[in-house]
Structure 1
Amino acid sequence: MAYRPQIAVLVETSKTYGRGIIEGISQYVRSHRHWSIFINERGLDDPLPEWIEQRPTDGILLRTSNATVFDAVKKLKIPTVSLGEIYDPHFPIVHTNDRRLAILAAQEFLHRGYKTIGFAGIQGTTWSDIRYQAIVNFLDQSIFHSCCDPSNAEGGLLDWPTHQAELTKWLQEIPKPVGIIAAYDVIGVRVLDVCNELGIAVPAEVAVIGIDDDQYLCELANPPLSSVAHSLQEIGYRACSVLDQIMQGGAVPDEPILIEPQGVIARQSSDIFAIDDPLIAKAIQYIRDHACDGINVNDVLKRFPLTRATLTRRFEKYIGHSAKEEIMRLQMIRVKELLTETDFNLEKIAKLSGYNHVEHMSTIFKTKNAITPGKYRERSKTES
């Protein structure tokens, strides 16, 4: 039987980023069928596993935030490819293009008409600093406003109460409407939480884009967080290719291999164009918060001092359709979510989406989508 190289995968299994890379590693191994993989459940800061010195190891795929792990791996003198977090020139690096991630978020806000953009990052952390500097270099000085730095003395994220106080002060002072780029999704979720506490309309007054596209975090946020997605599987696959090349005596890349991100995954936290009309911004936020509670345009008019004609005209100006159409759009999004994500009957879905009668919901659904709710549910299950 042919010898199978023994590969240690020292990549965190606790986060979306690491799991995506591991999927790319799996794709490489399946397509080449000549490696034996050894992997443990790991966090980013975990120490070097004892077994790596107790068994033959031909190559290492390494991603860690623990500098002592890097030092220990160097001493092993085993072919190793670094997958980022710590940038060490001793090892070839395959990593996401941090500059491009940040620029894509900035371009998204410019496309949506924002004249003020801010950044929330962790000063002293290499990837956050690269993203921050890319934004500063890319944007005109009149557009980039400021950076909120939630780092502690050790270069980590501040505890939540302290960070919350800093974000509160920053978000109260920054001119609006503003687009906030968060260095990663956890900070983006925190920004949204403070906006909710302060009653700041999201995305009408403050729009937020994170980085990493951790789907569970993004969907849990209120409203769901837009984020820039990495090409994680490609990072893992490419790292394997580089390691394979090195183990076979090939050249070691002398420059980092940077993988281009997928792009911005838009969700509600940025799904709007910049609005410099505070009253309409509040009206849009009210609709987004209550569309599925059964409200109508009269409810909006009772809450805000606008005539129906003015409300319609300003909605058309800022979001391209009327307040009534915005309510219907959000209700329809909710219907589709419930059809695909639950087994609720149509009566319950109608009630949860703001419709008084299931027949009315079904009629509108078929008109908008050229398919009945039942058929839509069947099709979504087949496609998944």
Structure 2
Amino acid sequence: MIRVLVLTDFSSGYGRNLLRGIVRYSQQVGGWTFYRMPLSYRMLHGDKGVVEWAKKWGADAIVAQLGDVDIKLLRDLKIPIIVQNYQDRISGVCNLTGDYIGTGRIAADFFLRKGYYNFAYYGITDTVWARERGEGFRLELEQRGYRAYQFLESSPMREAWNYDLESLGQWLLSLPKPVGLFACDDQFALQVSETCQIFSIRVPEEVSILGVDNDELLCNIASPQLSSIMLDVENGGYMAGHTLHQLIRKRIEAPYNISVGALQVVERQSTQKYVIEDPYILQTVAYIEQNYATRLSVNDLLERIPLSRRILEKRFKQNTGLTLYQFIQRYRIDHFARQLISTRRAVKDIAFSCGFDDCKNLSRVFCKFKQMTPSAYRRKYGVHRRGDTTQF
């Protein structure tokens, strides 16, 4: 029997998905048992309390969200430890970390594709994931000729998170509108949403909000519902379980980092707005979104817009940065990818429902956007990936 002590934030979607991935691995190999320790236990009893409990329970390994940690004290246990990053990455142990800068870049690209030219970031300074998400957001915008306004909180632990409502509200009021606002996670995105309600700031008309983690509870209790970047957390938990097993069996000796990647933006009402001043292009985009699943062609669009093909193509690219064909393909691929990893539907059925009638061409287009085939993408990221043998 392998005993694993798990010390994380079980109130968050991230923490629950992480544990789900670890448990999935344990069920495949069998013979594991878990003890869930809330973060408040360490806050009350410190590292010594965690070590004493791990010894008492006879833990074989620890997965823990730790900030300022006495690694020497934990090493005295002489058992494998995987640290879920909080304040910073910690040397000498396996870190469960992420491509935080890449996540920030995805957020910037998302708002740029919607035509925004005003941007803002809301986060905290005390955690590596928030710092680097903000940094990635800033870097991508600067490389594209833009800047982002920032409002940064400072707080030691998630349980103690609070925010200055008045200051946040005044900052939101001061931002040029419309603005694309990226929050370091869904908790912070929800705080922005609630503050906008109190200060009568319209979402998404004035402030478009994007969070991270795709915590469905937090995203859906917001009004309007929050868009968020989905992370591959469950697969990260699965890899953490596999790594622990290898360490326990002494198949590997040196610690290494496990990185959780970003999958895609799950769009809800809080970002359903394009900042396009040209009324014909805005009308074209709206029509594409409503009819992407049909056999949509440029000729269909020309029948509804009083512009020549050359003028429509030129003005469309000026406003969106993409050709009409590229925009339609990207929109279809985004919807296709989302269903691919969240449902058990056959790949061909999903393809047809997203407007693709040539499966061979779809595989080529999908590889261009995602750098892998649809079947490989589903195997790697799909929530229902077990037992999927669909080939493409």
Shorter chain as normaliser: what TM range?
A: 0.5 to 0.7
1:39 is aligned to 36
The match for 1:23 among 5, 9, 20 is 20
Equivalences for residues 292-303 of structure 1 within 5 A: none
**Aligned partners of 1:218, 1:16: CA distance in 2, in Å?**
10
Question: In 2 relative to 1, CA 223–238 (structure 1 residues): closer, same or farther, beyond 3 Å?
Answer: same
CA-CA distance at 1:193 after TM superposition: 2.0
- Tell me if structure 2 keeps the 8 A contact 1:177–1:275: no
**Aligned partners of 2:220, 2:204: CA distance in 1, in Å?**
15
Q: Which amino acid aligns with 1:316?
A: Q
Count of equivalent residues? 281
1:98 is aligned to 100
- Tell me if structure 2 keeps the 8 A contact 1:176–1:276: no
Q: Secondary structure of the equivalent of 2:153?
A: coil
- Tell me if structure 2 keeps the 8 A contact 1:203–1:269: yes
1:349-382: per-residue Cα shift (whole Å, max 9, x none)?
xxxxxxxxxxxxxxxxxxxxxxxxxxxxxxxxxx
Equivalences for residues 106-255 of structure 1 within 5 A: 106-140=108-142, 142-151=145-154, 154=156, 159-160=162-163, 162=164, 164-252=165-253, 255=256
**Aligned partners of 1:75, 1:175: CA distance in 2, in Å?**
54
CA-CA distance at 1:43 after TM superposition: 4.7
Question: In 2 relative to 1, CA 12–173 (structure 1 residues): closer, same or farther, beyond 3 Å?
Answer: closer
Q: Which amino acid aligns with 2:215?
A: D
Give the RMSD, CA atoms, in angstroms.
2.9
CA-CA distance at 1:318 after TM superposition: 7.2
CA-CA distance at 1:144 after TM superposition: 2.3
**Aligned partners of 2:11, 2:147: CA distance in 1, in Å?**
34
**Aligned partners of 1:81, 1:112: CA distance in 2, in Å?**
39
- Where in structure 2 are there 5+ consecutive unaligned residues? 289-392
Question: In 2 relative to 1, CA 233–155 (structure 1 residues): closer, same or farther, beyond 3 Å?
Answer: closer
**Aligned partners of 1:215, 1:254: CA distance in 2, in Å?**
33
Q: Secondary structure of the equivalent of 2:182?
A: strand
CA-CA distance at 1:131 after TM superposition: 0.8
**Bigger Cα displacement from structure 2, 254-263 vs 37-46:** 37-46
- Tell me if structure 2 keeps the 8 A contact 1:227–1:265: yes
- Tell me if structure 2 keeps the 8 A contact 1:96–1:235: no
Which is strand-richer, 1 or 2?
2
The match for 2:59 among 13, 38, 57 is 57
Question: In 2 relative to 1, CA 184–319 (structure 1 residues): closer, same or farther, beyond 3 Å?
Answer: same
Give the % identical residues: 25
Q: Which amino acid aligns with 1:151?
A: S
Q: Which amino acid aligns with 1:270?
A: T
The match for 2:6 among 1, 5, 9 is 9
**Aligned partners of 1:41, 1:256: CA distance in 2, in Å?**
23
CA-CA distance at 1:174 after TM superposition: 1.6
Q: Secondary structure of the equivalent of 2:173?
A: helix
- Tell me if structure 1 keeps the 8 A contact 2:138–2:148: no
CA-CA distance at 1:91 after TM superposition: 0.8
- Where in structure 1 are there 5+ consecutive unaligned residues? 278-311, 322-384
Equivalences for residues 202-351 of structure 1 within 5 A: 202-252=203-253, 255-275=256-276, 316=283, 319-320=286-287
Q: Secondary structure of the equivalent of 2:107?
A: helix
Q: Which amino acid aligns with 1:26?
A: V
CA-CA distance at 1:24 after TM superposition: 0.5
**TM-score in terms of structure 2 length:** 0.64
CA-CA distance at 1:22 after TM superposition: 0.8
Q: Which has the larger radius of gyration?
A: 1
- Tell me if structure 1 keeps the 8 A contact 2:236–2:258: no
CA-CA distance at 1:69 after TM superposition: 6.5
**Aligned partners of 1:253, 1:7: CA distance in 2, in Å?**
19
**Aligned partners of 2:115, 2:223: CA distance in 1, in Å?**
23
CA-CA distance at 1:246 after TM superposition: 1.6
**Aligned partners of 2:236, 2:31: CA distance in 1, in Å?**
19
CA-CA distance at 1:190 after TM superposition: 1.7
Q: Which amino acid aligns with 1:148?
A: F
Question: In 2 relative to 1, CA 7–267 (structure 1 residues): closer, same or farther, beyond 3 Å?
Answer: same
CA-CA distance at 1:150 after TM superposition: 2.3
**Aligned partners of 2:208, 2:138: CA distance in 1, in Å?**
18
CA-CA distance at 1:315 after TM superposition: 6.9
Q: Which amino acid aligns with 2:154?
A: S
Question: In 2 relative to 1, CA 262–194 (structure 1 residues): closer, same or farther, beyond 3 Å?
Answer: same
**TM-score in terms of structure 1 length:** 0.65
Q: Which amino acid aligns with 2:218?
A: L
Q: Secondary structure of the equivalent of 2:54?
A: helix
